[in-house]
Amino acid sequence: MSENITRRSVLKNLAGIVGGILTLSAGRTCKAAVRHGLVSAHAPAGYDPFQHKWLMALDVDRCIGCGLCVEACREENSVPDSHFRTWIERYVITKPKPGSGETRGETIVDSPDGGKEGFPVSLVPKEDILKSFFVPKLCNLCEKSPCSQVCPVGATFQSPDGVVLVDKNYCIGCGFCVQACPYGCRFLNPETHTADKCTLCYHRITKGLKPACVEICPSQARIFGDLKNPVADDPLQRFISNNKVEGLKRNLGTGPRVAYAGLDEEVR
Amino acid sequence: MNAAILTNVVDALPQFEGYVYPNERTLHPLWSVLIVVYPYITGLVAGAFIMASLVRVFKVRALEPVYRLALLTALAFLLCATLPLLFHLGHPERCYEIMMTPHFSSPMAMFGFVYAWYLMAVLLLELWFDYRRDFVEWANTQSGLRGIIYRAFTLGVTDLSEPALRLDDRMGRIISVVGIPSAFLLHGYVGFIFGSIKANPWWGNVLMPIIFILSAVVSGMALCVFVYMFLCWARRITADMRCLDLMTSFLFYALVIDATIEGLDWLHRLYSAEEGIDVLRSLAASKLFYTLLIGQACLGTLVPLFLLGSMQLVRRKVAELNRRRVYFSCAALILMGVLAMRWNVVIGGQLFSKSLRGFMSYKMEFAGSEGWLLSLALLALPFVILTVLVKYFLALDLPTIENVVPGAVRHPNPPEARI
C-alpha cells in the first residue's frame, strides 16, 4: 500500500468529489431555469408570455350543469377517464326543519362523473329544496400557487401570463403537488404517470382561441379574457365591474385568481 | 359464499362517503403504505443516532455497549430510507433531478440534500473515524474476503500513531456534535414535508416537524433496545443490565416528552376547533379508531409509559429476567405504536376529502407497488443489511483493541461487556 496516501489527501479528494457534484448541480439548476423560461407547452413561435395575463371568471347563476364543458375538455386535452381538469358540482340545500331556528337545512353536494353527462334529478323532493345551483370548478390560477411551491424539481411552474403549467417531460410523478392543491384540481395521469391539470387550453389561447370549455358553454357561465389586452367592451372586464366576485378558499393564502360571482358560503 | 358473489359484495361496498372531489375518487390514496414506511425508517435512523450521541457527546459511559450497534443500525436504515420514495415515483428514472435541478422552495427537494449530508458528512464519516484503527488492525490480522473489506475501508490511511488516533477521536466527537442537529434536521424535514401542506387540515400544522422529531427519537431508541436484546439473545450472551436500564430510562423520558407534545397537539386542535376538526374527530372515532386510539395512543404510548414508568420506581425489586421481558415488550410496543402514528398521519390525512364533505376508504392490496408485501420487504431490508454489518463490523471473533489514547472515551469497558 502506498505511503503517500494520507488522511489529508483522502479528505482532499473527497472534498473535490463533493465540490464537483455541487458545481454540476448548480450548472443543472441554471440550465433548468433557462429551460423553464423557454418551456411554453405548444405555444407558437412569437408568443410572448410577458405580454398577456389570462383569467377565467365564472358566473354561478348562469351555469345550467349541462356538462358540455367537461366533455369538451376531455376531448380537447385527452383527459383520461375518471380524471378531471374541470368539473361541475351541484349543491342542493334543503329547507330548515320548521322551528329549528336555522336558516338552512342540509347541504348535499354531488358531481356524478364530474357532471360530464349532466345531472340526474335530485333525490331530495322539490318541495324540500331551499335552493340549488351548479358550480364549475377548474384550476384557480393561484398567485402563490402551493403546487408550484412544493414541486421538488420545478416541473410545475407559474408562467408569466398567469397560467400554472406542468412539464410532463420533467415531472417525476411524486404527487406532492396533488397533495398541495387545496382545490382537488390536480391528478396523476395514469398514462403519463405525471401530474396533470387544467392549462386553460394553453395550446389554444396562445393562438388567440378561447379554452374549449369557454367556447362550448351554452349559457356563457365561463368568461375568459386577457387582462393585459382587453378587447372593445371586454366581457371579462364588464363581468368583474358588474359583479361582486371572490375566489375559493381565500383563507389559505394561495391567492386564487379565478373569479366567481354568486358563490354561496357552502362552496369550498 | 360463492367467490364471485363475495367479489361483487366487496365491490359494492361504498368506497366514498359524502362528497369527495372527482379527482380524489381513486382506488387507493395517492401516498399509500410505501409513504408510511418512508418516515418510519427515516425516524428510526435519527433516533438510533441520538442514542449513539449519548455516548459520544454526552459521555454516558454505561451505554457504550450499544454505541457501535446504534451507529450501524442508523446506517442500515439510512441506506433504505429513500427506497420507498423511489418505488413510489411515477418516473423513478428521473429521481436524480431532485439533486441535480432542485427547486429550493420544495421541502422534498431539500430533503434530498439533508439526506445526502447526513449519510455522507455525518454517519459514514463518524463510522469511519470510529472504526479506522480497528480496520487497520483487522486488515493485518484477517485474511480472505474480510481482510480485503477491512483493507478497502481503511481507505489507505494506516497511520496508527498517537497523534493520528487522537485526531480520529476528536473528529469523531466533532462529527457527533454536528450530527445531533443534523439528525433533528433529517427527521424534522420529513415532518415538514407533511406540515407544509396547508391544504390538508391534518398535516398543515406547525407542530408536525416537532412531533416527527420526537417520535423519531422514541422509535430509534426503542429500536436500539430491541436490536441489542435480540443480538444478545442470538449470541447467547447476557445483556448488560446497567446499559439496558439506562437505555430504557432515556426511552421513558423521551416518550414522556413525545406523548406530551402529541397530546398538546390534539388538545390544541380540539380547543381551537378550526374548519377541519369535525372531519378529524369523526376519523378518529371511526376509520382510525384501531390505529389511532388503540394502536398509537393505548398500546404504543400509555402501556409503555406505565410499564417503563413503574420500572423507574421499582426497578430494584424486579428480577432481571422480568425487567428484560418488560423492556423488550415495551420496545416492541413503541415500535408498533410509532408505525401506527406514521400510518395515522399519512393514510389518515388522505381518508377525507379536501372539500371536508366526505371520506375515502383504503383497502390495502397484497402485491404490486402499492401492496403491503413490498412495504414489508422494505421494512425487512434494513434488518438484513444490519445482520451483514454486524457480521462484519461487530463480530465476536475480531480482536478488539484497548484504547491507547489518554482521555479518549472509546471503549474503556472490558471486552465481555461488548457484543
* A179 contact B CB<8A: yes
The grid coordinates of residue A21 equal 457534484
Summarize pLDDT for B95-105 with one digit per residue, the tens: 999 999 899 99
The pLDDT value given to residue B5: 52
Orientation of helix B33-56 relative to helix B241-272, angle to 10°: 130
The grid coordinates of residue A184 equal 382537488
Using a CB-CB distance cutoff of 8 angstroms, which residues of chain B are in contact with residue A183? 21, 354
Element (H, E) at B70: helix B67-80
Mean pLDDT over B284-308 rounds to 96
Q: Tell me the C-alpha distance between B320 and B318, whole Å.
A: 6
What residues of chain B, 346 to 385, have a C-beta less than 8 Å from chain A? Answer: 353-357
ipTM of the complex: 0.88
What residues of chain A, 214 to 253, have a C-beta less than 8 Å from chain B? Answer: 252-253
Summarize pLDDT for B152-181 with one digit per residue, the tens: 999 999 999 999 999 999 999 999 999 999
| Percent of chain A whose pLDDT exceeds 90 | 82
Q: Do A176 and B108 touch (CB under 8 A)?
A: yes
| pLDDT band of B370, cuts 50, 70, 90 | confident
Q: Tell me the C-alpha distance between B393 and B137, whole Å.
A: 13
pLDDT of A267 over the 60 cut: yes
What letter would DSSP give residue B399?
A: P
Query: Could you give the count of Cα atoms lying within 13 Å of A120 in the half-sphere of its Cβ?
Result: 5
Which residue do the cell numbers 434494513 mark? B382
Mapping DSSP onto H, E and C, the string for A80-93 reads CCCCCCCEEEEEEE
Contact between B249 and B80 (Cβ < 8 Å): no
Q: Do B90 and A171 touch (CB under 8 A)?
A: yes
Q: Do B19 and A110 touch (CB under 8 A)?
A: yes
| pLDDT band of A24, cuts 50, 70, 90 | confident
pLDDT of A34 over the 80 cut: no
Count of CB pairs separated by less than 8 Å, A with B: 149
Mean pLDDT over B281-300 rounds to 95
User: Hey, where are the domains in chain A?
Assistant: 1-38, 42-86+139-268
The pLDDT value given to residue A18: 86
| pLDDT band of B9, cuts 50, 70, 90 | very low
Closest residue on chain A to B132 (Cα): A7
Count the helices and strands in chain B (H runs, E runs).
15, 2
| pLDDT band of A176, cuts 50, 70, 90 | very high
The pLDDT value given to residue A115: 96
Which residue do the cell numbers 400557487 mark? A145
Which residues pair with residue A218 across a beta bridge? none
Please work out, in degrees rounded to the nearest 5, the angle formed at the alpha carbon of residue B173 by the alpha carbons of B170 and B179: 140
| pLDDT band of A23, cuts 50, 70, 90 | confident
Q: Which of A7, A32, A175 is opposite residue B31, by nearest beta carbon?
A: A175
Mean pLDDT over A165-189 rounds to 96
- Total-model pTM: 0.89
Summarize pLDDT for B236-279 with one digit per residue, the tens: 999 999 999 999 999 999 999 999 999 999 999 999 999 889 99
Which residue do the cell numbers 398535516 mark? B203
Q: Looking at domain A42-86+139-268, which of 3.20.20.80, 3.30.70.20, 3.30.1360.180, 3.40.50.970 is its CATH number?
A: 3.30.70.20
CA distance B133 to chain A (A): 13
Mean pLDDT over A240-249 rounds to 96
